[in-house]
Amino acid sequence: MGEVKVPALQGINIAVKPGEFLAIMGTSGSGKSTAMNLVGCLDIPTRGRVYLQNQDISKMTESNLAQIRGKLIGFIFQQFNLIPSLSALGNVMLPMIFQNVPKNERIKKATSLLNLVQLGDRVNHKPNELSGGQQQRVAIARSLANDPEVILADEPTGNLDSTTGQTVMAFLKKLNKKEKKTIVMVTHDATTARHADRVIFLRDGKVVKR
């Protein structure tokens, strides 16, 4: 930040196993979102290495990183980040467009995913016509569009009431246990973290508890 250096992460060493559900906990400023952004190929470390499928993504070009993000990683955000002008179906189809999936296949896959998250009757609704919980379920369906191996969830229940949050977490747990998806979730909420197989605590950019 100008001439001031802020070490967001300091010498952390974390390994995530295929099929694991990992929660990263910490207060605001602990470095948990930066850690997730590094795994998600959204940030590049100034030092150190990040391996995904035995490839060091810290050395890759932006073009290669974009390909990895599109094919191997699905993102779920606290703010949902849905496109307001698109229907639920259109939002779920969007990632497949960038992977050149044929239109008929996109429609079929997106419809199937919306049925999976129990929104088959909302395919033509736009985000402003959906509740917060429904929007988050659309976001979950979208994260699965390209059948990623890893799902990154940044405070997935942060904008939801407790009951709806439990429903969303049940979907994530189902994806982990039945679909064998690897999930890395960032949260500050201990109740949400309890759904994970393992919890890592960060403070001031360092792992303080595993």
Give the CATH number, domain containing residue 41.
3.40.50.300
Distance CA 90, CA 97 (A): 10
Cβ neighbours of residue 185 closer than 8 Å, sequence gap 6 or more:
21, 22, 23, 24, 152, 153, 154, 156, 172, 192, 193, 196
**Residue 179 in domain:** yes
**Residue 110 in domain:** no
The structural domain count of the chain equals 1
**Residue 148 in domain:** yes
Instruction: Print pLDDT tens along the chain (210 aa).
Output: 678 888 889 889 999 999 999 999 988 889 988 898 888 888 888 888 999 888 898 888 888 888 888 889 999 988 899 999 999 999 999 999 989 999 999 999 999 999 989 999 999 999 999 999 999 999 999 999 999 999 999 989 888 888 888 888 998 999 999 989 999 999 988 999 999 999 999 999 999 988
Residue 115: the pLDDT is 93
**Residue 156 in domain:** yes
CA–CA distance from 195 to each of 47, 54, 67, 176, 178 (Å)?
32, 27, 30, 10, 15
**Residue 60 in domain:** yes
Residue 47: the pLDDT is 87
**Residue 173 in domain:** yes
Q: Model pTM? A: 0.88
**Residue 78 in domain:** yes
**Residue 99 in domain:** no
Query: Which domain, by its residues, includes 60?
Result: 21-85+132-209
